[in-house]
């Protein structure tokens, strides 16, 4: 039974990234200068159409700075057409946890019924 709980916990943890999504920043210039909570990762779109994920993004003067694949990177703010930040959705997370819980209860009930078809014998 203990290994079943471990497997269930690992499977649940594997689905947690599904609880996040990218959201477009309405005003990225001011949002990245002094955000209430530091932004860990942002998806940046440039005028030439290229898209990349920047770690620890921040606006510094007329540039967007951060880390790209372990290297410090700077992009001219004039070349940036969009910035999206990853946010956790409380609704998606709650639905996932409840869904997994209901599935576990249903699976447990199905196993119990399969192992003991006549309740009076159990």
Number of domains forming the structure of the chain: 1
32 domain-assigned: yes
Does the residue 81 lie in any domain? Answer: yes
Domain CATH for 41? 2.30.30.100
Enter the tokens of residue 14.
């594997």
Residues 66-87: tens digit of each pLDDT:
998 889 999 998 898 888 887 7
SS3 106: helix
What element of type H or E holds 15?
A: helix 2-15
Question: Range of 44's domain?
Answer: 2-115
* Neighbouring C-beta atoms of residue 100, cutoff 10 Å: 15
Mean pLDDT over the full length of the chain: 78
**CA distance readout (Å), 79 to 38, 99, 100:** 23, 43, 44
**Crossing angle for the helix pair 2-15 and 90-115, to the nearest 10 degrees:** 150
0.85 surpassed by pTM? no
33-70: per-residue pLDDT in tens? 655 667 788 889 999 999 999 988 888 888 889 998 88
**Does residue 122 form part of some domain?**
no
């Amino acid at each position: 039974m203990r290994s079943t709980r471990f497997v269930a916990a690992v499977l649940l943890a594997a689905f947690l990234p599904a609880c996040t999504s990218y959201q477009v920043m309405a005003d990225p210039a001011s949002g990245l200068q002094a955000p209430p909570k530091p932004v860990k990762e942002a998806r940046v779109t440039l005028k030439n159409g290229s898209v990349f994920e920047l770690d620890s993004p921040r606006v510094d003067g007329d540039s967007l700075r951060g880390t790209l694949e372990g290297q410090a990177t700077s992009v001219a703010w004039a070349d940036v057409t969009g910035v999206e930040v990853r946010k956790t959705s409380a609704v998606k997370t709650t639905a996932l946890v409840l869904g997994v819980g209901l599935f576990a209860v249903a699976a447990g009930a199905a196993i119990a019924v399969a192992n003991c078809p006549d309740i009076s014998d159990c």
